Structure 1
Amino acid sequence: MKGRTTAWLRKKAKRGFRGYPIATVAFYGPTGDFATKVVASIFPDEGSDPAAMERWFTQDTDVRTDAEIGEQVIAFVRGHAALSIVVTDGIIGCPHEEGIDYPDGTSCPKCPNWAGRDRWTGERVH
């Protein structure tokens, strides 16, 4: 989502809190350098669960550089009339889901880079 899409999301996020609904946009990948999944969620008000969530995936390209997916993310955020946007600074973890793609309480066998690593800092914790 480089270029126009990334610029639009970052510009909106820099405005800070402007009210609800809030859109969150997070990137996930097998390593801290290659994103294969983006998740956008809409929170209608404080303390609520997401009212809507959408996931997009790539295999061979970084999802952050995929213009088609970027346009879909923008359309999703605009379609839900989000007043505030929060975007992760980088990749915050494995694209696979604990309890769905691999057992709860274990590390993803497909993404050893994230085993024992803090998802926010990228630092080893074990």
Structure 2
Amino acid sequence: MNLDKSQKRINKRVKRGFHGYPLITIQYFGNDDGIATKVEVGFIEAENTTPMLEAFESSTDIRQDETVQTTIIKIIDRVDAKTVTLELMPPLK
């Protein structure tokens, strides 16, 4: 799957808002607002459960990494996520 298509699918799921569980959280981290070098994908199966986390890192902007973005889509599809959230976290220290 190409990068543009992956990003569109992720953004479409994020825009839907909360539709229940299972829930996928996507959090991007970086040294500044322009480049995210780390992403954490969390899976929450039900309310009040501990999230399972998967993290990916890159030396370049991970939001532009086709392999990582496609992997995120596969995770969303595999768990049949009802809700997807996306956050850009404050710069890493």
Q: Is this a same-fold pair by TM over 0.5?
A: yes
Distance across 2 between alignment mates of 1:78 and 1:10: 14
Q: What is the count of residue pairs matched by the alignment?
A: 92
The structure having more radius of gyration, on CA atoms, is 1
Tell me what 1:32 maps to. Answer: 33
Q: Could you tell me which runs of 5 or more consecutive residues in structure 1 were left unpaired when the two chains were aligned.
A: 96-107, 109-126
How many Å apart are 1:2 and its aligned residue? 5.1
Higher strand share goes to which structure?
2
Cα RMSD of the aligned pairs, angstroms, is: 1.7
Structure 1's consecutive aligned runs of 4 or more residues displaced over 6 angstroms after TM superposition are none
TM-score (norm 2): 0.88
How many Å apart are 1:94 and its aligned residue? 4.0
How many Å apart are 1:4 and its aligned residue? 1.2
Tell me what 2:85 maps to. Answer: 86
TM-score (norm 1): 0.67
Identity of aligned residues (%): 25
Tell me what 2:44 maps to. Answer: 43
Distance across 2 between alignment mates of 1:32 and 1:21: 29
Structure number with greater CO (CA < 8 Å, separation at least 6) is: 2
